[in-house]
Structure 1
Amino acid sequence: MERVNSTSLTEFILTGIPYPLRLRTFLFVFFLLIYILTQLGNLLILVTVWVDPQLHARPMYIFLGVLSVIDMGISTIIVPRLMMNFTLGIKPIPFGGCVAQLYFYHFLGSTQCFLYTLMAYDRYLAICQPLRYHILMNAKLSTLLVTGAWVAGSIHGALQAILTFRLPYCGPNQVDYFFCDIPAVLRLACTDTTVNEQVTFVDIGVVVATCFSLILLSYVQITQAILRIRTTDGRRRAFSTCGAHVTVVTVYYVPCAFIYLRPETNSPLDGAAALFPTAITPFLNPLIYTLRNQEVKLALKRMIGVPCSRSEVGFQKKFL
C-alpha cells in the first residue's frame, strides 16, 4: 500500500465525549466513583471466589473470577483516560500509548467474549448434563479453557493493533473519540482504509457472531431443560444460576454490535454506546452477580462472618 510522504505523528489528542462545561466537575467525580467502585466490586468478587472453598474449586466461579480480572483491566485502560477529558488543558496520548490502549482493549474485550461463551457452556453442562457435569467440566479443564481464551484474545488484539497502525498517520492527530479505538483512529490514516475496515468488520463480526450464537444455542437447550423440571423451586434455582449471566451478556453484546457491526458512521451515539462495554458493564457485573446469584451472596456472608438464615442454609445444602 502506498504511503504518504509526510511526517508521521508522534501523539494523538482524544476529544473525549461532548458535555456541557458546567457539568465538568460532576462528570469527573461521577466517573471517578465509577472507576473506584468497579475496582472494589470486582476485587471483592475475586477475593470471595479465591477465599471461599465452596466456590474456588467450581468452574463457574473460576470463570467469574477471571471475568472480574478482565473488568478491572478494561476499566483501568479506559476510564482514567476518559476522566482526563474533564480536566483543564489538552493532554495528548503518545503514539505508543494509543497502540497499547487499542491492543489491550481488544485483547481483553475479545477474551471477555470467549469467556462469556465458556460460562454459557458451563451452565449448559450443569443443567442439561448434571450427572456427567463433574466429568465433562472440572477445575483442570476450565483452567485450560480460560488459558485458551486468553491466548485467542491476545492474538485477536495483536491482529487488530497491527492492521490499524501499519497505516501511515501524518495528520491531523485529533481522534474524535474518548479512547483509541479502530473506527476513530482509521479516520486519521493518510491512505485508503477500505481493506482495514473490511477485515475489522469480518474479524470482529466472526468473533461476536460465533460467541453469541454458541451462547444462544446453549440457552435454548438450557431453557428446554429447565421447563422440564417439575418443581417450581427447582426451576427457580436453575434460572437463578443463569439470570446473571444472561443479563451481563445482553448489556455487553448489544452495544458492541451497535459500534462494530454496522455501516461506518460518525454518530454521537457511538460514544454513548461505547461507554457500556468500557465503563458501565465492568461496574455493573459485580452488582449483578452479587444481587442475582444466591451462592455468591452466601459466600460473602461466610467470608465476613454474618450468619445465614435457615432458608439460605437449606438452599446451600440443596444446591451445593
Structure 2
Amino acid sequence: MQTRVLGTELTVSAVGLGAMALSEQNYGPVDEAEAVRTLHEAIDGGVTLVDTAETYGHDHANELLLGRALGHRRDHVVLSTKFGLEFDARTKSIRVAGAPDTVKASCEASLRRLRTDHIDLYYQHRVNPAYPVEDVFGVLSELVAEGKVRYLGMSEPGIDSLRRAHAVHPITAVQNEYSLFTRDPETELLPVLRELGIGLVCFGPLGRGVLTGRFRTEEDFPAGDFRRLLPRFQGENLRRNVALVDRLGELASGLGCTSVQLALAWLLTRGPDVVPIPGMETRERLRHNLHAADLELGAATLAAIEEVIPTGALGSRYGARFDELSNAESAG
C-alpha cells in the first residue's frame, strides 16, 4: 500500500477505512464477525488510517467495536474519531453540539470505548456557530499538550472557521465528502487546504454507495438505511444518478476495471494530499476496493471521466432531517 502525508507529518495509507460501515445503524444490517475479519485483513494489507466517530452506531457501537477488535494491533493504525454531533435514533435527526466545556469529556469517553490512551487524529465533527471556534480549539490544544490527542482535524468546516482554528492550533486534516458525485471541495476548499498545508480525507468517496452500481431503486436500500432520507437517492434524482453510474461502468469495463475502482482511482489523482476512506464491511469489498490504488489513469481517461460525469450527482446531499449537517458552516 502506498502512503500519503496529511498536514506536515502524519503518514497514512493512500486508502483508509471508513469504519462507520462496520457497525449496524446508518447503512443497514452488518455481520459483525465479518466486519472484524475485514478490519484485520485491511491492516494486514497496509491500510493504516481507520476512521470512526462517537456518533457512529447505536450507543457508540462503532468505537466500542474498534476498541474490542483492534486489541494489540492498536498501534498499527492511525486511529481517528470525532466529537460534536448527537444522533437521535428515535427521530433519525442529528444535532450539532460540541460546547467547549464538553470536549474533554467527549475525548475521555472515546478513549475508554476505543481502549487506548491516545487518539491519533481528533476531528470536530461539525462547527457549532454558537461557540467561538477559538474556544473549542483552545481546549483541543490542551488535549494535545496532555498527550491524549496527537493531531487535530475538522469535518466540513467553513473556510473562515478553518482559518481561525488553524491559527489556534495547526489543523492536520479536513474531512469532507468528495467523490465524482460531490465535487464541491474543488472550488474553494482544496485551494485553501493547500495554502495552509492541510490534508483532505474524503468520506463518501463512492457517492455513499451509489457509484458501486448496487443500488438502482429506493427499495434496494435496506430498511433503516438513512440514504432513503437523502434527496439524491430518491425518485427521479436516483434514476438519473444510476444512469450516470451505468455510463461510468461502461468506461471502466473498457479499462478492465469496475466503476468502484475507477471512482477511487480518480480520487487518488486529485493530489498527494487526498485520502479516500471508503466503507468496506466485507473482505470481498476490501480486496476489490484496494485494487484501485494500483490503477494509473492517464490524461485521456481523466478527460473521459469528466465527460461521463461532468457536474456530479443530482439532488442535495442532505434532506430536511439532516439540515444541521449542511448549515452555513459546511464547505460542501
Please indicate the TM-score interval, normalised by the length of the shorter structure: under 0.3
If the length of structure 1 is used for normalisation, what is the TM-score?
0.23
More strand by share: 2
Greater helix share, 1 or 2?
1
Larger radius of gyration: 1
Normalised to the residue count of structure 2, the TM-score between the two structures is 0.23
